[in-house]
Amino acid sequence: MAESKPKYVLSYFNIKALAEPIRFLLAYGNIDFEDRRISREDWPKIKATMPNAQMPVLQIGSKTTFQHLAICRYLGKQFGLAGSNDWEAFEIDMAADTISDLRTKSAIVFYEPNESIKETKYVQLLSEVIPTILKNLEEMAAANKGHMALGKMTWADFLLAGLIEYLNLLCRQDLIANCPNLKAAVNSVTSLPAIKAWNAKAPKPDM
């Protein structure tokens, strides 16, 4: 990146969801970013200007970046949260992709417009899909001493901590209530002074 001190602008709706891990990472990295929250009324006018017509979008100086996982991975590298070799980066990616699986599989059901189809799909989601992924995630966190990878804090912990409220909503449960190691991973991030300060000043989200 050529610019020495680029301006950061994060565009998203006034919700936590996919942007909160990015906000957490920017707060952790002590990056003074513009937290641009687009209203649902303004979104149709802005949609066509965004890559893939979706958000989150993070402007870094003259660069327009998108895809929340790629952004988290990049910021993780910038802030020393991405491991120190290809194998370590791979272990973090496996954890991040598993968290992402939980989100995509539950979001498809949550956003199903037909109420009766939705409830039918929730039966399988709640009885099979979520328990399988959650068990795997908890085992990964147990093997990594209360973190998602490498036995220490990485950007995958930030991903989980930033997404957890949204995941709980999509999955209709407190996912970490009975998962002490996942709870530890979330707490390791939310107890950081920078994240506490962010949470204290963050605007009240719409959901």
Residues lying near ligand GSH in the complex (CB under 6 A) are found at 17-18, 47, 54-56, 67-69
What minimum distance in Å lies between the beta carbon of 149 and ligand GSH?
Answer: 19
What minimum distance in Å lies between the beta carbon of 5 and ligand GSH?
Answer: 25
Q: Based on the number of CB atoms within 10 Å of its own CB, is 161 exposed (0-12), middle (13-18) or buried (19 or more)?
A: buried
Nearer to ligand GSH, 54 or 132 (CB): 54
Q: What is the DSSP string of 83-130?
A: -SSHHHHHHHHHHHHHHHHHHHHHHHHHT-SSHHHHHHHHHHIIIIIH
d(CA 91, CA 178): 24
Nearer to ligand GSH, 93 or 138 (CB): 93
d(CA 23, CA 129): 28
Nearer to ligand GSH, 184 or 202 (CB): 202
What minimum distance in Å lies between the beta carbon of 109 and ligand GSH?
Answer: 15
Q: Tell me which residue has tokens 């002490």.
A: 180
What minimum distance in Å lies between the beta carbon of 18 and ligand GSH?
Answer: 5
| Distance from the Cα of residue 71 to its chain's centroid | 10
Q: What is residue 41's DSSP assignment?
A: T
Nearer to ligand GSH, 9 or 69 (CB): 69
What minimum distance in Å lies between the beta carbon of 188 and ligand GSH?
Answer: 23
Residue number, nearest CB to ligand GSH? 54
Beta strands in the chain (DSSP E): 8-13, 34-38, 57-60, 63-66
Nearer to ligand GSH, 55 or 179 (CB): 55
